[in-house]
Structure 1
Amino acid sequence: MNNSRKVAGFAGLASVLWVGLTAAVAASQRRLVFNPTIKREVASPRSSGHRTRPVVLRAVDGTKLSGWLMKPAMVGPHPAVVYFGGRSEEVSWVARDAGKLFPGMSVLAVNYRGYGDSQGDPAEECMVEDGCMLFDWLAARSHVDPKRVAVVGRSLGSGVAVQVALKRPAHSVVLITPYDSILALAKRRFRAVPVEFVLRHRFETIKYASELKAPTYVLRAASDDVVPHSHTDQLVAKLGKLHLDEIIPDSDHLNIPYLEATQDRIARFLGAQFALPRTN
């Protein structure tokens, strides 16, 4: 009888702990998925290969979003790129490195809601809606060729880039350390928690991958403990038009976009794609 009571007591305690852990994950999921960085990575961002200017754009609901527009010095219209950053990324560094990453291209890099000088709070639905607005705004500039606008997404932003590419006529897609879904990554991390019932921001990129018709270039980190290769494998297997899937030597999840090897590869891929006649 005493043993039965002990077992029941342990079972009750385990249940309380399980419920508590589930509630904690549910309550803190915004912090777990997003990690807004307010401080600029680069104090005075300026591209050596572009005319750089800060921009403040209004989202559909009026929220102010801040970032940078980079225009090549030569007369357009130019091919263009919309960049979407990672979970903890403030995007001023893109303005600094645009000359190497995106030579001869117009570039728009805007911080998510709650990041940098952008107002509001981050959320998947808003990020995709804002991303579509940014694509439309850039495509409408007189110096941009609206038929040659690519999207580039890093880590968390790869999920935004894919959804924007499905809703807008993206010419090409670059995904840096992409994942199958944030839900799958969360389930891997919190194995004892039914995260599928509590996670709101799922970024289930794999659901949209087969519909993606734009040429897609995937870049992986050689060592990645944030997005294990198995999660990228799942996504790559479903991509509708995979161009290339490469591992960048001596890279990890944090340093990959800053490496010369990464920037050279992205510049070559986009330059080659923009030089091709569009077939659809």
Structure 2
Amino acid sequence: MSSFLPSLQSLAKGAAATAAGLSTVGFSLLYYGQNYLIYPSAFPPGSRTEVPTPDQFGLSYEKLELVAQDGVKLHCYLLQQTKDLPQPETVAVLGAEGMDDNEFAASRPTVIMFHGNGGNLGHRIPLARIFYLKMRCNVLMMCYRGYGLSEGSPCEKGIKMDSQAGLDYVTSHPALSTTPVILYGQSIGGAVSIDLASRNPLAVRALILENTFLSLPRLVPTALPVLGPFAFLCHQKWDSAAKLPLVPRRVPLLMLSGVLDEVVPREHMLGLWELVRRREGADEASPTKGEPAGACPAPEGSLSRYVEFGNGTHNDTCVQPGYWASIAEFIQAIEQEDARKAGEGQAPHL
């Protein structure tokens, strides 16, 4: 029996050492390697070198090299509206008679697109094409640092500077500076949009958010369960729950949620929607799990709206029936409200 005790002691010491080792690996992986987990810019393979261009989809565009505050150069695309587009599916805009191309561009909304954490801006051109041809929006397609052909390495601080560079470009553009700016963000791009709007409340007209989250530390336990115990080490915060209340009530939000999202649980979008409703003075509770919301407006007089897609997953919500109709109706409602305010002598964006 006594000879067996050293073996037990050795086993206990070995188990303790293994546990300590695994804990150290977990700590190190999350703390030092989290940028590689959160920003997989090389996935799918080729994403850092093979970047589709809008002309491959029949669209004229301007290739931009925007420079962030810290000097990092960003590879972006601008699709500026012209009055006459050759594509047969182009939607006509009433009241454009007598305008030249710059005047027409200045009369249309400008959408700034912030993509998810995989791929590059070129993979989102089919989405930009719908904004451009079907809704006749100007479109600025951003590509974060470390993604596609942009310089640098991605991180929260850097991407915040990247988004600001995009907004600053639009607000200083000779034709686009007076247009209503709408931020469109998918997944982590939604967090980028919320942060940018919170820091520029007078420059942003509206937000369109798809399958985004309350914050990254609150997402870790479900997105990466093995690292759940170490979520407190997540230094890439993207704390949208804290930033969204800083976005003023005059900025409406359209929230588009895939109920079957396997990456960002539905509860995150519902949590953000509840913050929107509180901001706008709602009393009723938001829909709960198991009770599909369908299309849920904010209080009377608000343009904000929450729309669920029962078959939508993280990456295919944007192709679900009704997705683009919801966006088109939202943008049209903004245009109508701005036209009404202009008719009443009010500044349309305030």
Give me the TM-score of the superposition, normalised by structure 1: 0.89
Instruction: Give the aligned residue type for 1:123.
Output: C
Equivalent residue for 2:144?
Answer: 112
Instruction: Give the aligned residue type for 1:65.
Output: L
Matched, 1:272 2:333: yes
User: Is the 2:144–2:159 contact (alpha carbons within 8 Å) kept by the matching residues of 1?
Assistant: yes
Distance 1:201 1:251, change over 3 A: same
Question: Larger deviation: 93-102 or 74-83?
Answer: 93-102
Distance 1:14 1:266, change over 3 A: same
Equivalent residue for 1:42?
Answer: 52
Matched, 1:33 2:32: no
Distance 1:112 1:41, change over 3 A: same
1:65 positional shift: 0.5
1:76 positional shift: 3.2
Equivalent residue for 1:76?
Answer: 105
Question: Larger deviation: 74-83 or 176-185?
Answer: 74-83
Equivalent residue for 1:219?
Answer: 256
1:71 positional shift: 1.3
Equivalent residue for 2:131?
Answer: 101
Equivalent residue for 2:175?
Answer: 143
User: Is the 1:220–1:248 contact (alpha carbons within 8 Å) kept by the matching residues of 2?
Assistant: yes
Equivalent residue for 1:193?
Answer: 229
* Cα distance in 2 between the residues matched to 1:128 and 1:209: 15
Instruction: Give the aligned residue type for 1:208.
Output: K
Q: Which has the higher strand share?
A: 1
User: Is the 1:46–1:96 contact (alpha carbons within 8 Å) kept by the matching residues of 2?
Assistant: no
Distance 1:73 1:127, change over 3 A: same
Distance 1:156 1:45, change over 3 A: farther
Give me the TM-score of the superposition, normalised by structure 2: 0.72
* Cα distance in 2 between the residues matched to 1:40 and 1:265: 32
* Cα distance in 2 between the residues matched to 1:86 and 1:259: 18
User: Is the 1:101–1:263 contact (alpha carbons within 8 Å) kept by the matching residues of 2?
Assistant: no
Q: For structure 1, list consecutive stretches of 5 or more residues without a partner in the other structure.
A: none
Distance 1:215 1:33, change over 3 A: same
User: Is the 2:26–2:230 contact (alpha carbons within 8 Å) kept by the matching residues of 1?
Assistant: no
User: Is the 1:51–1:70 contact (alpha carbons within 8 Å) kept by the matching residues of 2?
Assistant: yes
Question: Larger deviation: 265-274 or 163-172?
Answer: 265-274
Matched, 1:17 2:22: yes
User: Is the 2:115–2:124 contact (alpha carbons within 8 Å) kept by the matching residues of 1?
Assistant: no
Instruction: Give the aligned residue type for 2:271.
Output: Q
Equivalent residue for 2:292?
Answer: none
The alignment of Structure 1 onto Structure 2 pairs a total of residues equal to 278
1:171 positional shift: 0.3
Q: What value does the CA root-mean-square deviation take over the aligned residues?
A: 2.4
Distance 1:246 1:68, change over 3 A: same
1:10 positional shift: 2.9
Distance 1:20 1:100, change over 3 A: closer
1:153 positional shift: 0.7
1:46 positional shift: 5.8
Which of 1 and 2 has higher RCO (CA within 8 Å, sep 6+)? 1
Identity percentage over the alignment? 19
SS in 2 for 1:235: helix
Question: Larger deviation: 54-63 or 114-123?
Answer: 54-63
Q: Mark the structure with the bigger radius of gyration.
A: 2
User: Is the 1:113–1:119 contact (alpha carbons within 8 Å) kept by the matching residues of 2?
Assistant: yes
* Cα distance in 2 between the residues matched to 1:192 and 1:259: 31
Equivalent residue for 2:213?
Answer: 179
User: Is the 1:81–1:150 contact (alpha carbons within 8 Å) kept by the matching residues of 2?
Assistant: yes
1:233 positional shift: 2.1
1:279 positional shift: 6.3
Matched, 1:57 2:66: yes
Question: Larger deviation: 215-224 or 249-258?
Answer: 249-258
Distance 1:97 1:8, change over 3 A: closer
Matched, 1:167 2:199: yes
Question: Larger deviation: 266-275 or 53-62?
Answer: 266-275
User: Is the 2:30–2:230 contact (alpha carbons within 8 Å) kept by the matching residues of 1?
Assistant: no
SS in 2 for 1:152: strand
Equivalent residue for 2:288?
Answer: none
Q: Deviations over 1:74-123 (max 9, x none)?
A: 22312211110001031224444434235221110021111111111111
* Cα distance in 2 between the residues matched to 1:191 and 1:115: 25
